[in-house]
Amino acid sequence: MAQSLSFLLALSLLAFVPLCFCDKTLGGYLYPQFYDHSCPRATEIVKSVVSKAVAREARMAASLLRLHFHDCFVQGCDASILLDSSKNIITEKRSVPNRNSARGFEVIDEIKSAVEKECPNTVSCADILALAARDSTVLSGGPNWEVPLGRRDSKGASLSGSNNNIPAPNNTFQTILTKFKRQKLNIVDLVALSGSHTIGDARCTSFRQRLYNQSGNGSADFTLDQSYAAQLRTRCPRSGGDQTLFFLDFVSPTKFDNSYFKNLLASKGLLNSDEILVTKSQVTKQLVQQYAENTELFFEQFAKSMVKMGNISPLTGSRGEIRKRCRKINSINQTA
């Protein structure tokens, strides 16, 4: 009798598994409880390391959030951005959007090392990126959300994908929207996810053209508040100072809030890709106005869009691998 009950219980559990993997409300083939049995402390470990890193340097929150974004837009959310160059891999870290810009890799290494000690060969680097992005947002005062888990790690990277698919500060509105739509993200996701610029920094080289030569005629960008532009010019000269950092949101640069959208309405968005949300589309302008007026609405949509972005083409099941070290695929790890 006991054996037959065990058999029925096993069957009922097996019958339930496909529901977990296929329920679209839980992020497609991913679901938040993925590590509940195989590594129950995984999320706790990620949060602990991220908390210490952000306490050391507030800017790290934005850096970790950006890593997840730059990962998902290239080959899907597969931790390809973390791979170093090797015999068969050209790293995405060399791409224009990532070179001298993407950072936080050491924090991911620290998380992975701690998780490997707890649960060897279990938690993917791709899931660590997704969790670290959520924790960074929460630690900065932003919204919380359940992160669907179960991604696996790629065995390759795409330098061309990184150069071509990640939205750039000087892209036109239509180009940026096309890059989002390519990932099955819509215009609402575009505005909400742009709100991540409420924290973090940008380099002088990312917006210099707005100060001196926006349209190729030697004139500054007329959509940029002129007093703000003059202030920026004092530290971002016509030449030199490429790596000088500026707050994306000068009002509350380390606090995740809706002041980014208020800045846009005041013509004080730092990047061209920020300000065009107000100047190039009535739809995006209305969304900017709504988020500027209603923090709760912005937070709610940001969380939804982050889950949606985190579900871009994940590797699941037997595809990909669980990397032992996030910077190298396992075959290289074993021969190194």
The residues carrying an active-site annotation are 70
At 310, the amino acid letter reads G
Task: With H, G, I as helix, E, B as strand and everything else as coil, classify residue 29.
Answer: coil
70-to-171, 274, 332 alpha-carbon distances in Å = 16, 17, 24
In angstroms, what is the C-alpha Rg of the chain?
21
Task: With H, G, I as helix, E, B as strand and everything else as coil, classify residue 250.
Answer: coil
Q: How far apart are CA 40 and CA 289, in angstroms?
A: 41
Of 77, 69, 73, 70, nearest to 313 (Cα)?
77
181-to-165, 176, 191, 312 alpha-carbon distances in Å = 11, 9, 13, 11
Residue 261 CA to its chain's centroid (Å) = 19
Burial class (CB in 10 A: 0-12, 13-18, 19+), 71: buried
For 249, half-sphere exposure in the C-beta direction (CA atoms, 13 angstrom radius) is: 24
Of 230, 265, 259, nearest to 247 (Cα)?
259
Task: With H, G, I as helix, E, B as strand and everything else as coil, classify residue 240.
Answer: coil
